[in-house]
Amino acid sequence: MAKPPKSELPSHLPLGEKSEGRFYRKHILSVKQFTRSDVEYIFTIAEEMRTMVERVGTFDLLKGKVLANLFYEPSTRTASSFTAAMERLGGSVIPINEVRYSSVSKGESLPDTVRTLECYSDVIVLRHNETGAAATAAKYLRKPLINAGDGAGEHPTQALLDLFTIKEEIGTIDGLTITMLGDLKYGRTVHSLSRLLQMFNVKVRYVSPELLRVPEHLREELLAGNLPFSEHANLDEVLAESDVLYVTRVQKERFTDMAEYESVKDAYVITPETLTKAKEQMVLMHPLPRVGEISMDVDADPRAAYFRQMEYGMYVRMALLAMVLGKA
């Protein structure tokens, strides 16, 4: 399809003109840096990105810009959706998905690797196995860095896309009861999403084995932020009242004791039978990959939103890229 004339483009996206804005050249490290109005603004831009992709597929908002996608840990969705986001905006990508084939395997430090990539690119997306790595790397950079997951710390872009999914699927966030299930200790997406939810008028139900409860430091933050939440071991206690069920994988790679992992890995499995006890309109989410926590027999249920969730992620990442590069 042909590119629409400039006058048809949304006013937030002035093709070829610098608009700068609040996030121009800013790092995206933690959801703690956002206000509710920032989140709402990101969603407005993400919706416009969705409209544009549906209408024209690819457009030239970031033409000439280069993204360095640097992943020290495996990724399917985050890496490929940032690539897709950049390419749909007309930019290009340096993919470093296998750091062991880069100078990292020669012993290069993170500060040196990111400073190298900064010479060739306009924005860096970093996934790292250590909590705090994104913040450390950002200290060495003049160009924006986006945290794509730092150990068991945060995954801010995932949390934004999770919240965007809830908004697009249900139409609102305020007033909902959101249940998070599984590995609440190591699951960085749970940590980031919980922090974002503090800005909204929601109730949160945490369901996990004793071993995988929300970490103490996060529990204290949530108490201080007045997020109404409760903790449970049994999903049946909260399933019927849940508007969203956010299921997570037990994060095998974060365990030091494999016997502990084995003892909790199959704690919960969502099946069609589980969903008979849930609301008709409940939204079932998962940041993916799943490794058995949601049976594939559930995929055809209209409540299963995890495939749509991935698509929403691309629009949110398009919005963030445009924002940090001063085009939204």
Contact pattern from residue 138 through residue 167 relative to ligand ASP, giving x for each residue in contact according to CB under 6 A and a dash for the rest: -----------x-----x------------
Contact 2, 303 (CB under 8 A): no
Of 99 and 325, which CB lies nearer to ligand ASP in the complex structure?
99
Contact 12, 44 (CB under 8 A): yes
Of 185 and 188, which CB lies nearer to ligand ASP in the complex structure?
188
For residues 132 and 269, give the distance between their C-alpha atoms in angstroms, rounded to a whole number. 31
Least distance in angstroms from the C-beta of 143 to ligand ASP: 23
Least distance in angstroms from the C-beta of 216 to ligand ASP: 20
Kindly give, in sequence order, each residue whose CB lies less than 8 Å from that of residue 170, ignoring residues fewer than 6 positions away.
Answer: 176, 243, 244, 281, 283
Q: Is the dihedral of CA 13, 15, 21, 24 positive or negative?
A: positive
What Å distances lie between residue 320 and 169, 178, 199, CA to CA? 21, 25, 19
Of 52 and 97, which CB lies nearer to ligand ASP in the complex structure?
97
Is 249 an interacting residue with respect to ligand ASP (CB under 6 A)? yes
Least distance in angstroms from the C-beta of 22 to ligand ASP: 27
Least distance in angstroms from the C-beta of 100 to ligand ASP: 19
Least distance in angstroms from the C-beta of 183 to ligand ASP: 8
Of 34 and 72, which CB lies nearer to ligand ASP in the complex structure?
72
Footprint of ligand ASP on residues 281-310 (CB under 6 A)? 287-288
Least distance in angstroms from the C-beta of 206 to ligand ASP: 16
The pair of structure tokens assigned to 158 is: 């995932």
Contact pattern from residue 40 through residue 79 relative to ligand ASP, giving x for each residue in contact according to CB under 6 A and a dash for the rest: ----------------------------------------
Contact 22, 140 (CB under 8 A): no
DSSP symbol at 32:
G
Is 128 an interacting residue with respect to ligand ASP (CB under 6 A)? no
Q: Considering only residues 165, 177, 189, 208, which one is a binding residue for ligand ASP as defined by CB under 6 A?
A: 189
For residues 64 and 81, give the distance between their C-alpha atoms in angstroms, rounded to a whole number. 19
Contact 320, 28 (CB under 8 A): yes
Is 188 an interacting residue with respect to ligand ASP (CB under 6 A)? yes
List the one residue out of 288, 321, 193, 211 whose CA is nearest residue 257. 211
Least distance in angstroms from the C-beta of 128 to ligand ASP: 11
**Cα 58-147-64 angle, rounded to 5 deg:** 35
**Which residues lie near ligand ASP (CB under 6 A)?**
149, 155, 188-189, 249, 287-288
